[in-house]
Amino acid sequence: MAAATALLFTLSACTETATLQGGGMPSSQAGSQGTEPNASVFPDIPIPEGANMIVDKTLVVGTDKWFGQLALTAGQSPVAIFDFYRNRLPQFGWDEITSVRAPTSVLTYDREDRIMQMQITSTTLRGSEILITVSPRGTPKPRSGTAPVIRSN
């Protein structure tokens, strides 16, 4: 009885999620491939099939050039999710800066004036949790020891 009560409490404490449409091609390639464009609310990020958004860990501002944090759960292993994003992100215009495959894998990409960092971890029961953070690219600061550029009008 105690085990059943603990299981019920655990299930009732689950995080609220929302289903996202996965798969698809970037809209610029959809017509040539004969597939539907990714109708997700995140048109520049591939979403794994069956992924769910973790609502209470997600905060996104904007639409086309959105920024913020998107949290997902997926039924695939962290290794499969890492490979999925490493293969698919370039198709969506993202260029890899660096990646590390580890218990918490990290992928860092850039696209135009934005930087994306993704963390992929294993979930307790099965699958993966994916935390995607997209931010505007910062302005580089001059290195110490170099003279600042002075411009006159």
Instruction: Name which residue leads in pLDDT, 143 or 88.
Output: 88
Residue 115: inside a domain, yes or no? yes
pTM for the model stands at 0.71
| Res. 60 pLDDT band, cuts 50 70 90 | very high
pLDDT at 41: 74
**pLDDT score for 4:** 36
The two tokens of residue 44 are 């520049």
Kindly state the tokens that stand for 96.
Answer: 């890899």
Alpha-carbon span 148 to 113, nearest angstrom: 23
* pLDDT 10s digits, 104-136: 999 999 999 999 999 999 998 889 999 999 999
* Residue among 93, 104, 153 at smallest CA distance from 128: 104
Residue 39: C-alpha distances to residues 14, 42, 63 (Å)? 27, 8, 13
Taking the C-alpha atoms of residue 118 and residue 132, their distance in angstroms, rounded to an integer, is: 4
pLDDT attached to residue 149: 66
Distance, CA of 29 to CA of 19 (rounded, Å): 24
153 in a structural domain: no
110 within some domain: yes
State how many domains the chain has. 1
| Averaged pLDDT for residues 8-19 | 50
Evaluate whether residue 21 is within a structural domain: yes
Q: Which residue from 80, 86, 75 is spatially nearest to 118, judged by alpha carbons?
A: 86
In a domain, 152, yes or no: no
Q: Print the domain residue range for 47.
A: 15-25+36-136
The reply to whether 142 falls in a domain is no
The CATH number assigned to the domain holding 57 equals 3.30.310
89 located within any domain: yes
Q: What's the chain's length in residues?
A: 153
Q: Whole-angstrom Cα distance, residue 114 to residue 137?
A: 5
What pLDDT, on a 0 to 100 scale, did the predictor assign at position 30?
38
Examine the pLDDT at 152 and tell me if it is beyond 50: yes
Helix (H, G, I), strand (E, B) or coil at 11: helix
Say what percent of the chain tops pLDDT 90.
57
Q: Which CA distances in Å does 54 have to 15, 48, 126?
A: 7, 14, 15
Task: Kindly report, residue by residue over 24-33, the tens digit of the pLDDT.
Answer: 444 444 333 3
- According to the model, what pLDDT value does residue 153 have? 62
Residue 30 within any structural domain of the chain? no
